[in-house]
Structure 1
Amino acid sequence: MDASTEVLLVAYAFDNDPVEVCEEMPSHVWDAIEDRNVLKIAHNAEFDMSVCKYVLGIDISYDDWFDTMYQAAYYEWPRKLSELANVLNTTRKASQEELMFFSLPIKPKLKRNTSAANKEYNRLVQLLPPEFNDPKEFPDAWNRFKDYARGDVEVMRECFNKMQALPQIELTAMRLTFEMNFNGVPFDVELAQRIMQRVHEYETNASAEALERFGIENLKSTQQVQAALQARGVFLPSLDAKQRGNVTHPILDLREQASGLAFSKLPKAISRLCPDGRIRGEFVGYGAHTGRWSSKGVQLQNWARTGENVSETLESVESYAHLRQHLRLCLGHDTHLSFTGADLAQIEARIVAYLANCKYLIEAFANGEDVYSKTAARMFGGECDPETGKHPKRQYGKAAVLGFGYGGSGAAIERIDKKFYDEIGAGAAQDLCYTYRDAHPEIRSLWYKIDGAFREAMKSSTAQLYRNKVLLKFTYDGKTMRITLPSGRALYYRHVRGTPGQYGLDLSYMSYGEGHTSWKKLWHGTMVENIVQGIARDILVGAMARSCERAPDAQLVMSVHDEAGYLHPPHVPMLDIFLEEMARPVEWAPGLITTGDGFTSDRYRK
């Protein structure tokens, strides 16, 4: 937390007692925070926990705090308290207007004249310690601030009571979130600075080359770059990579290098460093609709995967694109600890095969065979090589497994393997899609069975679907669809509606999960993907929690998709422990074979 952070007010209530507001922490409240038998409930609880830990110096435990923001996310309600109060129709509404007056520093008055003296004055002013409004000078505003604090607790308590309790697996996941965010991810500043120096060299060289070869004085100027491209017969509606399709040109490559956007996370990460060299508070519990963690701050989940021939020495950097593959090496490095990372191997494909009862895939996973080659053999015929187990069209099988399991068309391959998609072309990709569907009637049936159960529940309130050895239960109350997963927790879809479409009713639901409300399309592919990823997350949560129990000296520091990372003393066999827990039979999904794949190193090397 910033060094200027201090406690202005303490607002609290015990059970249903009236809310109290104090300017000093009462001793009995302090005692209650330290008491492991007292549950502390807060909205965005990590903030309150951080104040208690770092500002007040109170020893806290992750096991006796509860976050109503996480609770809201699980039930697919807004995370922001004011918006949550609106949708839950609380007696009192929440507002943050009064909060800002005393909580935000006063902006320094800067001089507008751009003279050298004024620039230096402005620079020095911004280095001064922040100043805040004094409550004694604004008594009316201070009273409003107290009323805000009281109302905040009242609204939060009413929201907590209006929402149902969390299932046990979500209490576990919430506390794993606390652990990750308070442990923090070590960040190698020295390596980051050396990477940034290389980026600066690429920027300088790109600008010089653009001027010499193409006459472009400023690569960051859209107008100049577009003019240079058009002079060479390249016409683009936009320079945005997502909108220009497969168009490539040396000018576009140089522009990317000059922008340095691929490395913009590094200075932001440095700005977020704690004194001990770790980045904290980066993960959002129940950040995705499926329950997976998402990330905030420097968005660690979006950092480029580590490529081949990479090293923290940067001695083998081949290109600007290759340099980007060194980013993750900045993460997870602690001089005295090892880093272990592991993920659930091919977990989504395993769950799809399990729910579809696709026997040849289930057997292939159980026997440890090359599933991509087995899929290719199923689609195209022929035998796998008896020595290597590989099929001549293994790459096609891999693209099909990764791209078509959720009902996607040929274009799905472009998202998971653009190089392969460009090689075979759109027509061949679509043909591959049809071949996959014809060869996997069990999986295709799964899509429509789930879609059918969803629609049946909309008509008759409930529907049950037995898949292999597990039950999926669909419950609809006229507005909200709840899909109960085999683990016992559920996925929620608010304000489900159907509108006439080309092939019947097109379904959609109101999503609150991304900081704003939006209507999202629902079709069988989305439903299956959500269910599969939800099951995968529940398996991962179980493995993470058990691993933490078995290795109390290890520190859980991250989760990326179906992967988790731990720091631990070198003598702790963390990889063995984590892989054992990943392979443990899933109690609520009998017969589902799961395995893990991971590494132990001195930093995040994946």
Structure 2
Amino acid sequence: MKSLSVDLETRSSVDIGQSGVYRYTEAEDFAILLFGYSVDGGAVQVIDLVRGERIPQEILDALADDSVIKWAFNANFERVCLSRYLSDLGMLHTTERAHFLSPRSWRCTMVWSAYMGLPLSLAVVARVLGLEEQKMTEGKALIRYFSTPPFHEPTGEKWELFKSYNRRDVEVEMAIQQRLFKYPVPQSVWEEYVLDQEINDRGICLDMPFVENAVKIDAHTKEKMTDRLKTLTGLENPNSVAQMKAWLKEQGVETESLDKKTVAALLTNVSALLKEVLELRQQLAKSSVKKYQAMQNTVCADNRARGMFQFYGANRTGRFSGRHIQLQNLPQNHLANLEYARSLVRQGNFAALELLYESVSDVLSQLIRTAFIPKEGRKFIVADFSAIEARVLSWLAKERWRMDVFANDGDIYCATAGRMFHCNVVKHGENGHLRQKGKQAELACGYGGSVGALKAFGALESGMKEDELKPLVDAWRTANPNIVDFWWAVDRAAKDCIKERSITGTHGIKFIYQSGMMFIELPSGRRLAYVKPRIGENQFGGESITYMGLDLSKKWARIESYGPKLVENITQAISRDLLCYAMQTLRSMDIVAHVHDELIIECDERVSLSSACEQMARTPLWAEGLLLRADGFECQFYQKD
């Protein structure tokens, strides 16, 4: 036996959508109902475990045998469920470091689909590829019927249909593998996947007494604020957007929206009553409690949250995306004494919080990060890359002056402002006020952004005038001629590749046309995939690059692109490869989480921060000349330095 394709139907009273598979399998009533499998691409067998059928011993042995490759679509689900099943059988001898089947011999068809620029849904992939085998549409209703409470008896036509559904899923997964076999995922990416699974299995520790009290305090705070709003407005439900808009209209204030930005603008010019009402509404709208509730939902019996990261979640670049608690979008913390505020919440001291802080909701929001803690006797090292995208972009475009700034540990925002305004700019010093303009331009203009991008990055809110935005863009582009040239060199290479159906290249990046696909080959050897590329016409009547992919509404549609946007994909993809390389370099340490370009390491108190940062900043052989830097700090709870 060389390979085993697997699909499971399971049941548990825990909601997997809210809690994830790790918590799902901890439920006492968790069970595998059906086990569908195929050995070496042969006929699919379905084992009805509920009705007393047994998985053959050779298959059970293969599940624990690292020499047999196991395939599944979203393989993390099958691997974690089977870990629980084999543990119950006494076949998986767990230790503190290994609760789960080793991911080394598991391969995920969903990751393969994502690598090819395809969706992360089995049904949609099958449809997009036009497979003969299509996922059965009855599946969702059958899962609701048999897999979620109240569990129904596994009998009759519905049960036989459920078994057919299980068989079909294995067939569809195998058909996807057969369709994609010409485009194998590189071994290096599978090694990254294994590391990702190890991090997901390890999980990150939560301070649950702190979390429980945060939820209680939030509920108490919201109740008080709602009562105050009812008193001020006379509204039955002041949380209702419609009721609040109608009340504001009666007070002479008409508004289309009550979103954060609109309310902030309204607050600048209203009466004291309206100011209090709008501020209370803003505080009520804070979603801090949702993060704490997500922690309650996902935490496992050992107080660790697992399954926080989706490998290849952003399939355009291969970057990770967040799941469940979503560490990628936690609020920042700016409280002067974080530890003291945290201790008050942990004690449940609502009176002190209300007395000492203007907004308890804001305190809870700023403390979300601090719910993540190292286990007893250990510490966190939090380390991140300094200006990683700016460094990669400068290296790719050979923008020498920028590389010199990085070589001398300079401040890229000051250097950019100095170059744009032809003067010396020092942070908190000479012409220091120009640094913000340099920063805004850096963030907005690197990938072809213009006035709209500057506005999106908050240029007007930071005090810039509308009429200075276009000159700012022009000044940035004049200061960075090699980057501008790089955008259009990539644009030409991609268009030539599509038109000629050939291999083109520029700046160490290859563009390859193969069987109706365009691949962008990165210096690491990894490829970005663009499905069914064409040359189209943009809104200005010029040529544009189009390809099939998931649009902003998550629909499979034709997407338009051009040189600067492809440069963004390339730069972010290389930044992702550098993060994965750093994770491999540091894999002997316990990485418990990663957020954008930052690693959170749970380690022994004796581990040196400087050596961890030094290892993280190592440059791979394929990135010769790229200057990396990692900075970090140590802490006893997660925070933003």
Query: How would you bin the TM-score normalised by the shorter chain?
Result: 0.7 to 0.9
Q: Secondary structure at the match of 2:600?
A: strand
Of residues 502, 513, 528, the one that matches 2:540 is 502
Verify the 8 A CA contact 1:262 1:324 in the aligned structure 2: yes
Aligned CA distance change for structure 1 residues 541 and 101 (closer, same or farther; 3 Å): same
Aligned to 1:118: none
Q: Which structure 2 residues correspond to residues 447-462 of structure 1 after superposition, within 5 A?
A: 447-462=487-502
- Number of residue equivalences: 573
Q: 1:400 Cα shift? A: 1.7
Aligned to 1:13: 38
* 1:80 partner amino acid: S
TM-score (structure 1 length as normaliser): 0.87
* 1:587 partner amino acid: L
Q: Which runs of 5+ in 2 are unaligned?
A: 1-24, 48-52, 93-100, 269-274, 345-352
Aligned CA distance change for structure 1 residues 212 and 146 (closer, same or farther; 3 Å): closer
Q: Which runs of 5+ in 1 are unaligned?
A: 108-129
Cα distance in 2 for partners of 1:91, 1:367 equals: 59
Verify the 8 A CA contact 1:169 1:538 in the aligned structure 2: no
Q: Secondary structure at the match of 2:463?
A: helix
Q: 1:229 Cα shift? A: 2.5
Q: 1:463 Cα shift? A: 4.8
RMSD of equivalent CA atoms = 2.7
Cα distance in 2 for partners of 1:243, 1:509 equals: 36
Aligned to 1:55: 85
Of residues 236, 240, 255, the one that matches 2:255 is 236
* 1:168 partner amino acid: Q
Render the CA deviation track for 1:537-579: whole Å, top value 9, x for unaligned: 001101101210xx2xx33222221122222233344x44542
Matched, 1:440 2:480: yes
Cα distance in 2 for partners of 1:178, 1:12 equals: 22
Aligned CA distance change for structure 1 residues 194 and 234 (closer, same or farther; 3 Å): same
Matched, 1:592 2:626: yes
Cα distance in 1 for partners of 2:437, 2:427 equals: 19
Aligned to 1:65: 106
* 2:499 partner amino acid: K
Aligned to 1:170: 189
Which stretch of structure 1 is more off in the superposition, 23-32 or 501-510?
A: 501-510
Q: Secondary structure at the match of 1:545?
A: helix
* 1:271 partner amino acid: N
Aligned to 1:268: 294
Q: 1:285 Cα shift? A: 0.8
Aligned CA distance change for structure 1 residues 61 and 86 (closer, same or farther; 3 Å): same
Matched, 1:481 2:522: no
Cα distance in 2 for partners of 1:332, 1:70 equals: 30
Q: 1:308 Cα shift? A: 3.8
Aligned to 1:124: none
Cα distance in 1 for partners of 2:126, 2:147 equals: 30
Cα distance in 1 for partners of 2:190, 2:343 equals: 42
Verify the 8 A CA contact 2:117 2:531 in the aligned structure 1: yes
Aligned CA distance change for structure 1 residues 425 and 172 (closer, same or farther; 3 Å): farther
Q: 1:274 Cα shift? A: 1.2
* 1:152 partner amino acid: D
Of residues 307, 328, 334, the one that matches 1:307 is 334
TM-score (structure 2 length as normaliser): 0.83
Aligned CA distance change for structure 1 residues 168 and 478 (closer, same or farther; 3 Å): closer
Verify the 8 A CA contact 1:46 1:178 in the aligned structure 2: yes
Cα distance in 2 for partners of 1:414, 1:276 equals: 46
Aligned to 1:121: none
* 1:568 partner amino acid: C
Identity, in percent, stands at 31
Q: Which structure 2 residues correspond to residues 109-124 of structure 1 after superposition, within 5 A?
A: none
Verify the 8 A CA contact 1:70 1:286 in the aligned structure 2: yes
Aligned CA distance change for structure 1 residues 415 and 245 (closer, same or farther; 3 Å): farther
Aligned CA distance change for structure 1 residues 487 and 106 (closer, same or farther; 3 Å): closer
Render the CA deviation track for 1:265-288: whole Å, top value 9, x for unaligned: 211320222111122222111011
Cα distance in 2 for partners of 1:99, 1:412 equals: 41
Verify the 8 A CA contact 1:236 1:244 in the aligned structure 2: no
Of residues 611, 616, 620, the one that matches 1:582 is 616
Of residues 63, 74, 77, the one that matches 1:33 is 63
Verify the 8 A CA contact 1:11 1:20 in the aligned structure 2: yes
Render the CA deviation track for 1:444-484: whole Å, top value 9, x for unaligned: 112111112111212112353332xxx11112347432111
Aligned CA distance change for structure 1 residues 244 and 328 (closer, same or farther; 3 Å): same
Matched, 1:363 2:404: yes
Q: Which structure 2 residues correspond to residues 60-459 of structure 1 after superposition, within 5 A?
A: 60-95=101-136, 97-98=138-139, 101=142, 104-105=145-146, 130-135=149-154, 137-138=155-156, 140-163=157-180, 164-241=183-260, 246-248=265-267, 250=275, 251-288=277-314, 289-309=316-336, 310-311=338-339, 312-314=342-344, 317-319=357-359, 320-384=361-425, 391=432, 393-417=434-458, 421-459=461-499
* 1:292 partner amino acid: R
Aligned to 1:114: none
* 2:571 partner amino acid: V
* 1:156 partner amino acid: E
